[in-house]
Structure 1
Amino acid sequence: MPGSRRTVFLSIIFLIALLFGSGQPQAEPARAPHKGLNLVGEFVVAEGREASDRVVLVLHGTLAHLNMDTIKGLRDVLTERGYNSLSINLSFDLDNRTGPYDCAIPHRHRYGDAVAELTIWLDWLSRKGVKDVTLLGHSRGGAQVALFGASADHDLVKRLVLLAPATWDEDKSRAGYKKTHGKALSTVIASARALSSAGKGGELMKGAGLLYCPGTDVTADSFLSYYEPNPNLDTPTLLPKIKLPTLVIAGGEDKVVPDVADKTRPLANGGNIRLAVVDDAGHFFLDLYAEDVVDLVENFMGTEE
């Protein structure tokens, strides 16, 4: 093919690809600086959407990440339905954190860090021109989204979705710690309090264990943020403090937080708190249950742009 004709041919191919490919979903790695760390996320612009269109910001659960099956499943369905999404990793005080948390790494993060990091990501979306954000959190991430709704504020956030959000009970917390870590929670809390009171909250407690990481090292302040008796760790306790429209979604066969529906039901009285139960769904809402969740989210968001 002569050079000039070849150039025209390639130009036509390029234009066709541009015209027909520009509407495809676009996923991009997202990074946001925070306290000397790089926060990690994935921003997906759905087919036919602009980056400034409304977004579902999705937060994972305990020590998890944005590509765990639950989060990836929700992201895929949201994209198929034409909704932009931003899935994020909590840093857990680590730079560029990806994948599940490595229990060999000492824990320095605090439960409430999620509120500040959500704010950083909302500011990131604001710089893209986004005006409407639905905050969606799963499991402990759902409880942290509830904490955000009860204690923080941001113009972009229009509604909250709490998917199988964590509940808290002091007796269950003690029993769970004993089962996982083989020691009395009260003893470790006392040691952590002593360190924190002495201004040594950043000091590591060797082998204290935290959450799903038995035998791990953890700072006193980190330990207290997760285990110090605190009703604000309990999603239903936070719900009356939230002013935004809030949808709590429970799994009918959830064995991880089996009490969330019963504890939420008295609060879902036709005001800003709604409750939906997905029959037969377990805690992780895998496969077709992700479709059920997005059905509920879509209805909750409405069709306004």
Structure 2
Amino acid sequence: MRYVPQAFRNLSSLTRLSLEGNHIEAIGRDSLKDLETLYDLNLRKNRIWIIQNGAFTKLLRLGMLNLGHNFITDLPNQLFEGLIQLKTMHLEANRITAVECTFRHLLNLRNLYLNNNQISSISDSAFSYLHKLHFLHLSKNNLSSLPIRLFTELTKLKYVFLSHNPWRCDCKMLWFWQWTATRRAVIKGLDCAFLGPPNTTALNEPHPGDLRDCTVPLQLASEDKCSVGSTSVAPEPPNLPSKVILLALVCYMWYNVRGWDTSVATF
């Protein structure tokens, strides 16, 4: 099975659908449009690498989406538009390399699995507005640091898994020490010297010598990349010297006049 069967389009009262372990490669814009009552969708262990924008727009009641163990590489910003009731998202074991603003409008999201990917960068606004996020799994990626504002709005975050990443315990991650010191959360997998033993903080202990001279402020103003519109503005042409403009104009007029003369002579 390479595509979602059209037969499912007539099951308008379906609440749970599992297509795990097939060979599905693509999810089209209209593949799931009639499954408006669907609550649980399992597409785990397929070969999905194409998902058209709008594929989930009609799934307004979906609470669990499992896309784990597929071939997904990109997460366009509008990919999950419409999933306003989604609580659990599985994207583990794919080929994702970056996270930008894909999850921004999943206001009811509680559990997010992004482990076992190839993520090397995360936008500082990637989890903005996810006020209900409770569980975040980022283990087994290519992360060396996290942006300073990443967890700012995650007031209910209780479990964070970060193991098996090539972390750099330098000034860029000093903010993480401050954040963990004020939160009662289970944080595993980021074993830096300026952090205490697992699940504890080192508030009363001095920072290591290599971090004493950090000049990076703990609270750093940062542009909200997700608030920038998707439309781009073409850059203005560079300012040219007036002599260059005049020369180009003369050449243009000479070429047109010469071409007109030639055409008349030929005629």
Q: Return the TM-score normalized by structure 2.
A: 0.31
More strand by percentage:
1
Which has the higher relative contact order, 1 or 2, with Cα contacts under 8 A spaced 6 or more apart? Answer: 1
More helix by percentage:
1
Q: Return the TM-score normalized by structure 1.
A: 0.28
Structure (1 or 2) with the larger CA radius of gyration: 2
